């Protein structure tokens, strides 16, 4: 499948999506998002894919939603077309997905990265929600997800002023899991994704589901949810294999069942 705004590759068990609108710093327009959704649907359906890396260029992960496409939108266009809802698909992708962010991750770009399971950042990464400077506010979860990542004070400051955060501040604040040299970023993200893809796919999916539940429920309900999934894992062949391999001092051969 050929795409105009993204590059899609399979690296063994890892799917790699590279945002590729270099002339617009990977600004997210509806065609690009449609292509990302299509690529993700392909990886979701592909039993051989165990995880995905989403990245951009060294200069920009994505400099936000495409302002030129969005500028003439009316309220009725936005409401009737349910503008943005389909942009949120990444947050509903069920396999593990890592954002590898170098350069600008602004507005919708920052929101897209936060929809992934975790963010690895290049040393030059800049995160921000500059929508306020355009007369709007974040529309793809930025006010909610950024607040959960970095806390109210910093999220409020960023959303109200449009200030950007560099990679070091993003790591200190819990927005990104690690900072890496830019030229090693994608290779390292692929290595991490490969490690995840070597585990049992249903178990990584359930683990992701359980961690995500922490954002959406009380502690007691979250722990109950975790317990149900944990019990269910004992019905999988991979649990038997993983524990047998430990006892027999050999590497496990997960069969994803
Ligand atoms: N939309 C459209 N075009 C863009 C965007 C954008 N967000 N960002 C950059 N471009 C274009 C520029 O217009 C320019 O094109 P051209 O050469 O044709 O004039 C080209 O990319 C290069 O950009 P610059 O010349 O501006 O590059 P600089 O290195 O000087 O500056 C910046 C880089 C600081 C990143 C600057 O481009 C900038 O401020 N961009 C806009 C950032 C922004 O405000 N983003 C928020 C957009 S609103 C939003 O995201 C709402 C979220 C809605 C939900 C999205 C769901 C996922």
Is residue 257 scored above 90 in pLDDT? Answer: no
Q: Which residue has the tokens 């995880």?
A: 51
Is residue 74 scored above 90 in pLDDT? Answer: yes
22, 34, 67, best to mutate for ligand 1 pocket (most atoms within 8 Å of CB): 67
Known catalytic membership, residue 108? yes
Same fold, 6-197 and 200-248: no
Q: Which pLDDT score, from 0 to 100, does residue 31 have? A: 95
170 close to 125: Cβ distance less than 8 angstroms: yes
Q: Which fold has domain 200-248?
A: Lyase 2-enoyl-coa Hydratase; Chain  A, domain 2 (1.10.12)
Catalytic residue among 56, 111, 121, 197: 111
Known catalytic membership, residue 65? yes
Confidence check on the interface: ipTM exceeds 0.90, yes or no:
yes
Known catalytic membership, residue 111? yes
Q: What is the CATH architecture assignment of 6-197?
A: Alpha-Beta Complex (3.90)
Please tell me whether the overall predicted TM-score, pTM, comes out greater than 0.90 for this model: yes
Q: Is 199 in the pocket of ligand 1 (CB under 6 A)?
A: no
Mean pLDDT of 103-131: 98
Quick one: pLDDT band at residue 2, thresholds 50, 70, 90?
confident
* 194-213: pLDDT as tens digits: 999 999 999 999 999 999 99
Quick one: pLDDT band at residue 1, thresholds 50, 70, 90?
confident
Q: Is 141 in the pocket of ligand 1 (CB under 6 A)?
A: no
Alpha-carbon distance 93 to 41, whole Å? 8
Q: What is the DSSP string of 214-239?
A: TTTS-HHHHHHHHHHHHHHHTTSHHH
Mean pLDDT of 20-29: 97
CA of 43 to the centre of ligand 1 (A): 29
Percent of the chain with pLDDT over 70: 100
CA of 19 to the centre of ligand 1 (A): 14
Exposure string over 149-169, b if 16+ CB within 10 A, otherwise e: bbeeebbeebbeebebbbbeb
For the chain, which residues make up each domain, given as ranges? 6-197, 200-248
Q: Which pLDDT score, from 0 to 100, does residue 19 have? A: 98
Sequence-distant (6+) residues with CB within 8 A of 47 are 201, 256
Q: Which pLDDT score, from 0 to 100, does residue 26 have? A: 98
Q: Is 116 in the pocket of ligand 1 (CB under 6 A)?
A: no
Quick one: pLDDT band at residue 256, thresholds 50, 70, 90?
confident
Phi and psi (nearest 5°) for 216?
-120, 0
34, 54, 63, best to mutate for ligand 1 pocket (most atoms within 8 Å of CB): 63
């Amino acid at each position: 499948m050929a795409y105009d705004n993204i590059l899609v590759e399979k690296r063994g068990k890892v799917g790699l999506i590279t945002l590729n609108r270099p002339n617009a710093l990977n600004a997210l327009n509806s065609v690009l998002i449609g292509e990302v959704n299509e690529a993700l649907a392909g990886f979701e359906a592909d039993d051989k894919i165990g995880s995905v890396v989403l990245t951009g260029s060294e200069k920009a992960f994505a400099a936000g939603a495409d302002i030129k496409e969005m500028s003439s939108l009316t309220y009725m266009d936005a409401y009737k077309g349910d503008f943005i809802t389909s942009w949120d698909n990444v947050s509903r992708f069920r396999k593990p997905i890592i954002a590898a962010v170098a350069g600008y991750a602004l507005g919708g770009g920052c929101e897209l990265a936060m929809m992934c399971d975790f963010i690895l950042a290049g040393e030059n990464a800049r995160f921000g929600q500059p929508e306020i400077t355009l007369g709007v506010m974040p529309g793809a979860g930025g006010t909610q997800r950024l607040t959960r990542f970095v806390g109210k004070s910093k999220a409020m400051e960023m959303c109200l002023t449009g200030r950007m955060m560099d990679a070091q501040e993003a790591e200190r604040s819990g927005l990104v899991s690690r900072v890496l040299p830019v030229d090693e970023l994608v290779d390292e993200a692929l290595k991490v994704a490969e490690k995840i893809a070597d585990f049992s796919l249903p178990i990584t999916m359930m683990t992701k589901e359980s961690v995500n539940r922490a954002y959406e429920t009380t502690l007691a309900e979250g722990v109950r949810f975790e317990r149900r999934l944990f019990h269910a894992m004992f019905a999988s062949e991979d649990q038997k294999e993983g524990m047998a391999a430990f006892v027999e001092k050999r590497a496990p051969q997960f069969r994803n069942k």
